Structure 1
Amino acid sequence: MGSFTTHRLRAYDRTRSPVQRFVALRTCIAEFAPYGFKATYHHLCRSAGIPAEPEMDSEAVVRAVEELHAAREIWLAEFRVWQVHRHAQKAAGVRVPDPPEPRRRLWYPDPESHPAEPLTVVMPRILRAPAGDLAECPVCATGRGTKFWHDGFTEHLLCAGCGVSLAGRPTVPPPGVETARAERWRLVWRRRV
């Protein structure tokens, strides 16, 4: 798999077919997904207006990859500062990074429930989110309360405003969870919802 930058350039390349450009966008999402792959994919398809048939609006892929790239640049700027600090810590013999590496994603278990704001607005909030379980939503920060989302096997504690998981991502999903959501995800994947 190539780098984010390589696939971003492929998404721009008008000599490629719209489908090939769309595949390049999906690879970019696999490389950098602030909401997790599925929710980031759904967000970008919605925000950029990517139609079910990419040939109908090939420039939608460019809009999506640019939004993702802008969010990634925000994260990279923070990460580069952290790298310099971490390098000094290693030279001083500090084995555990303090502070930890800048957070690059939060988990949204429901791919259709995520912030509607551009990723560039949400990314700084993700960077400021504390590690571990969240007492309140770092994305909304409005105290809208919590809700439970049941995926067929597990109940997840989510922010009522934006849908972020407040209890983190389960390390091992229970058996059958993906099967329970497979049909809805197929519709999201094909941009039919």
Structure 2
Amino acid sequence: MASFETHRRRVHDTDRTVHARHSALRTCLVAFAPYGFRATYHHLCRSARIPRDLEKDPASLIRAVEELDAARRHWLADEAVFVARRRQEKAAGTRRPQSDGSWRDAGRASPGMLAYCPNPEFHPDEPLPAVVERVLRSVVPPTAASSWCLVCGRAGATTRWRSECYVHRLCARCGVSLGAERTAAKSNVCRARAERWSEIWRRAA
């Protein structure tokens, strides 16, 4: 699969159709989506003002991918520091990563998905680079790890949201998942979620 940078260039390529450029943006999101694919896509549609008819504003795709790329650069810089630290630790005989109170200790994020928001319409509304940088600099208190919001930087009120297989505890302020419990999904909930996502994807919501 081609790299993020390859698809970023394709989004900029005005010789391609707007739908091909939109597809390239989608592939960039597969590689890096701080809130998860769906919530990050929804955020970019709003922040870059991507219209339902892409022909009306092709430049919106460029605005979207550049915001995503700026956030990704923060993450890559953090990854480089982490990799260098791990090399030093391994050379010193330390095989397991040492806890440093960073976002990695929260145990809720995976590479490229630093602040998962399971509800695609409930996520931080600040620019992605600002949110990603804040998460990367966050310090998670050990005693509050299960209720600490990486974006807001504190523990607080929560709300619940059901996905297909899980009930998530969300930060009531920004929608970041603070944990989830597996549960039997209700078919009507799954169907409604799928229909709503279809509207979001087509920018009809």
Q: Same fold (TM over 0.5)?
A: yes
Cα distance between partner residues in 2 of 1:89 and 1:137: 28
| 2:149 paired residue among 111, 119, 137 | 137
Contact persistence 1:133–1:167 (CA under 8 A)? no
**5+ residue gaps, structure 2:** none
Three-state SS of the structure 2 residue aligned to 1:167 is strand
Cα distance between partner residues in 2 of 1:14 and 1:110: 33
Q: Does 1:161 align with 2:173?
A: yes
How far does the alpha carbon of each residue in 1:68-124 deviate from its partner, in whole angstroms, 9 at most, with x for none?
000000111111111111111222232112248955412111000001100011002
Aligned identity (percent) is: 47
**5+ residue gaps, structure 1:** none
Q: What TM-score, normalized by structure 2, do the two folds share?
A: 0.82
Three-state SS of the structure 2 residue aligned to 1:148 is strand
Cα distance between partner residues in 1 of 2:75 and 2:22: 23
State the match for 2:98 in structure 1. 98
Q: How many residues align?
A: 191
Q: CA deviation at 1:154?
A: 4.5
AA matched with 1:75:
W
* Closer/same/farther in 2, CA of residues 15 and 158 from structure 1, 3 Å limit: same
State the match for 2:201 in structure 1. 189
State the match for 1:107 in structure 2. 116
Three-state SS of the structure 2 residue aligned to 1:20 is helix
Cα distance between partner residues in 2 of 1:173 and 1:188: 25
* Closer/same/farther in 2, CA of residues 129 and 182 from structure 1, 3 Å limit: farther
Contact persistence 2:4–2:31 (CA under 8 A)? yes
AA matched with 2:135:
I
State the match for 2:159 in structure 1. 147
Cα distance between partner residues in 1 of 2:183 and 2:6: 32
Q: What TM-score, normalized by structure 1, do the two folds share?
A: 0.87
Q: After TM superposition, where is structure 1 displaced by more than 6 Å over at least 4 residues in a row?
A: none
How far does the alpha carbon of each residue in 1:125-163 deviate from its partner, in whole angstroms, 9 at most, with x for none?
322264995323221236551112234774321111111
Cα distance between partner residues in 1 of 2:164 and 2:29: 26
* Closer/same/farther in 2, CA of residues 32 and 153 from structure 1, 3 Å limit: closer
Q: What is the CA RMSD across the aligned residues, in angstroms? A: 2.5
Aligned residue runs from structure 1 range 30-109, under 5 A: 30-99=30-99, 104=112, 105-109=114-118
Cα distance between partner residues in 1 of 2:154 and 2:192: 31
Cα distance between partner residues in 1 of 2:2 and 2:84: 25
Cα distance between partner residues in 2 of 1:119 and 1:184: 23
Q: CA deviation at 1:167?
A: 1.2
